[in-house]
Structure 1
């Protein structure tokens, strides 16, 4: 049973379904897909080489949708950026297709978790059943062998009594330079990801939101007199609404908070009641964010005190007529960047996405079940000064090389049949490197395969053979280590990922090779592949690397007589392929 049809939850359900398990996917709202179908269409990653597994499959399907509907050479194909920039309605359709292809998955909507039944066992407890309630008060009790909490908030995890945390750790607790000196209860801010257009044929004029008060927004007049605000909509800065570029298919824009901007959409402090809040408390926070952000736009478009150049520009923008039809063209979900964080078997921290002592890669995790390349990113946890013209604090954008994510982040310490790919075990700073939709899909995919293995082997999730799990992930196209030149469509993908999981790709570059976390910039936040992360399979196998690789082969049980020796013709690829064949990979 998977609770929460977020991208992590959908990926978990699909992976478990592929592994032959019957799956119940329970979504508390009407709409699946989380933020990917609620406005976050400008996906957060840096290089295309970081995408694999469930998210890459999703993106390929989005691209194929545009090819089929608009043609293989269409502008929509180009605007989708390999399917990573999909319109919400298209993303929603693709998620439904992914679920429909797995006949063993049952999806139910509008069912909220009401209660859990636990049995005390040793050394961990076990969830025996989960009871859900629909809007009419009807209940449904589910007995599942393994449960996955796919929610952004960790709602099932918390009800099960798993340790969790909200707020920021002190700098000393985990040795994190990005953490504050002392621990506090501050929480990364939320905002909406509106989908907007300037296309008159598809444009809906915004109206004043419920509770609109003009006096709440007059302060923006002083802010727009500053040279730090030059437009209402722009990218990436000196504006009020960040209209992400490149534009989405259909002439649509994903609207976001302006990082380090003079006027912000994100509202630190206004969301503190969300993580552990009741549905009613969360709805009130949702409504307050909607009143503030839609109200700001309405003020800029309609108030006569707004300078004409800003008002006329703002009036060119509106909601998309063909999106969010059930919610007046507004996103049905708030962008919950961070809520509860499990304190599980392994706590992911800043150190896990920093460079290792030697080489061009980050710290190595032999039990890695996913990888990413975005880095630690926080839009702020506190606001100082007036609503308009003040300043966020607790904000950071920390570039790091691609990093691995260990299996332990999914595991509670005291429940033996629960996996948590959404509210993963991490510090605040560590979570800020994991809270990205492609990463959540990779973590969900890993949780789904791990759940299936736990069922098949009738064992606690903590005892799942991680090497077996990694092989299943590789076979499903999901990378556990970043390799810039051997991607999931390569016939060598499985072998190279297997060898990398054992440590075979460490220190491939000469000592002193410059460390560069990002490749050459392409556009916006997107870049070429991270340097220093290629396997270079066609390079000759030199004697020093052969010696090191043979030692690794011995340590993982690969017979040495099956391996080629370094000479003028043997390549790195020859060695890895031979090792994989000998190991039965």
Structure 2
């Protein structure tokens, strides 16, 4: 039978009522107003707001920890204009301030000794505080969850092939099923993951990689080599395993295909890393270790970069409370595992786990190399080796977290796409948010330039 628009609508409503009234399995939760898939900061904030509106809500977190990057090492809040931070986000930073007003929070440092970290220093008299330990952020989110009676179901991953949708357009999600078998029904669903798995499974339009400049009338999109001047390798570095011998092959993680056409679209995604929480406190420090499976050739390019004149530690080591840090990528060879994440956005769960594990192996090996390798300048070895992972953060991982910094993955293509023009002042008639940071993209590939040298 061919469905007319009217019969199609009737069919969809019947399906909706049928699914909504189907007896749930014993393990299935009762239908709610809102299901949030992903317990990131966005997901927790959405759940808090839903509760304030009198709605029933369930948060489904695929891992065993809420908060995403906020509880996963990114304690250095990048702020261009603090006045832009409002609503539930500002409540979080005000609660951070309250947390550190308790003397018991200062275990490895006195409060008056802490000067703030990086660019996000807290001014005198501010009600908010902008830098924090991962454990402090986790404590606040757990308090919110308890305070508001938010149900969080941990360790449940979406069955990406099993969504119940209405057949009428625009299609709507009726229910989602987990790999573990539970079905969650709700009147509305939010995808608050970094990957956008629910978004993709529901058929929402999205893109991955770089658009061409011509697609949206931009100048800074697509392949960028001429503008790639920051976080760059020293000039003159040979790309081959045996210097000068192309038959020996390229060093690991150099893209043999080259950068592509300037300004053109491609599949490449800006690099991921772990935002490490380090400490230099002797009682809390875990020295960097040489990981099992260490790959010495992965770091040959870095060693050659130092031999070509680099002489600084390749990190941004922003101070957090209790003599800890939020440590991020800096210079031409650092914590970003450039070019090794292209498959991540669309990968299976098992493939993603392997990619995350390889990033961790790379970064653990990187830190050990920086702290110990004789080809690293002595001043860098001394600077790096006084730091280590924290005994009281991410204890199950010996100081290493599970949350990888997914800088970008799937990006929704909606009714309106924010472009370079908006970032540079092109206003919209009905704004829904306020931005407060500059345009920023990390390196996406390494290649051999026309001079036969390695570039980012």
- Cα deviation for residue 182 of structure 1 reads 2.0
1:161 matched to 2:161? The reply is: no
Q: What is the aligned partner in structure 2 of residue 170 from structure 1? A: 212
Indicate which of 302, 310, 325 corresponds to 1:253.
325
So what's the TM-score if we normalise by structure 2? 0.76
Q: What is the aligned partner in structure 1 of residue 417 from structure 2? A: 347
Question: What SS does the corresponding residue of 1:128 show, helix, strand or coil?
Answer: strand
- Cα deviation for residue 71 of structure 1 reads 8.5
1:120 matched to 2:201? The reply is: no
- Cα deviation for residue 217 of structure 1 reads 2.1
8 Å contact from structure 1 (residues 9, 150) kept in 2? yes
Kindly provide the CA deviation profile for residues 102-136 of structure 1, in whole angstroms up to 9, marking residues without a partner as x: 12x21110000012111211x31121111113xxx
8 Å contact from structure 2 (residues 208, 269) kept in 1? yes
Structure 2: which 5+ residue stretches go unaligned?
Answer: 1-34, 123-127, 223-262
In structure 1, distance between residues paired with 2:379 and 2:204: 54
Distance 1:365 1:99, change over 3 A: farther
Indicate which of 129, 135, 139 corresponds to 1:93.
139
In structure 1, distance between residues paired with 2:297 and 2:264: 36
In structure 1, distance between residues paired with 2:186 and 2:270: 33
Q: What is the aligned partner in structure 2 of residue 364 from structure 1? A: 428
So what's the TM-score if we normalise by structure 1? 0.60
8 Å contact from structure 1 (residues 323, 329) kept in 2? yes
- Cα deviation for residue 309 of structure 1 reads 3.2
Q: What is the aligned partner in structure 1 of residue 455 from structure 2? A: 391
- Deviating runs (4+, > 4 A) in structure 1? 70-73
Question: In angstroms, what is the RMSD of aligned CA positions?
Answer: 2.1
Q: What is the aligned partner in structure 1 of residue 317 from structure 2? A: 243
Q: What is the aligned partner in structure 2 of residue 65 from structure 1? A: 99
1:276 matched to 2:346? The reply is: yes
Superposed, 1:108-507 pairs within 5 Å as 108-114=153-159, 115-121=162-168, 123-133=169-179, 138-180=180-222, 181-227=263-309, 229-232=310-313, 240-244=314-318, 247-258=319-330, 261-356=331-426, 363-366=427-430, 368-385=431-448, 390-392=454-456
Question: What SS does the corresponding residue of 2:421 show, helix, strand or coil?
Answer: helix
Q: What is the aligned partner in structure 2 of residue 17 from structure 1? A: 51
In structure 2, distance between residues paired with 1:313 and 1:77: 20
In structure 1, distance between residues paired with 2:423 and 2:315: 30
Q: What is the aligned partner in structure 2 of residue 469 from structure 1? A: none
In structure 2, distance between residues paired with 1:77 and 1:71: 12
Question: What SS does the corresponding residue of 2:402 show, helix, strand or coil?
Answer: coil
8 Å contact from structure 2 (residues 274, 360) kept in 1? yes
Aligned residues: 365
Structure 1: which 5+ residue stretches go unaligned?
Answer: 233-239, 357-362, 393-585
Q: What is the aligned partner in structure 1 of residue 239 from structure 2? A: none
Q: What is the aligned partner in structure 2 of residue 449 from structure 1? A: none
- Cα deviation for residue 347 of structure 1 reads 1.5
- Cα deviation for residue 76 of structure 1 reads 7.2
8 Å contact from structure 2 (residues 335, 366) kept in 1? no
8 Å contact from structure 2 (residues 61, 154) kept in 1? yes
Q: What is the aligned partner in structure 2 of residue 55 from structure 1? A: 89
Distance 1:207 1:300, change over 3 A: same
Q: What is the aligned partner in structure 2 of residue 40 from structure 1? A: 74
In structure 2, distance between residues paired with 1:226 and 1:242: 21
Question: What SS does the corresponding residue of 2:176 show, helix, strand or coil?
Answer: strand
Distance 1:43 1:76, change over 3 A: farther
Kindly provide the CA deviation profile for residues 316-365 of structure 1, in whole angstroms up to 9, marking residues without a partner as x: 11001111112111121110000001112221211222224xxxxxx133
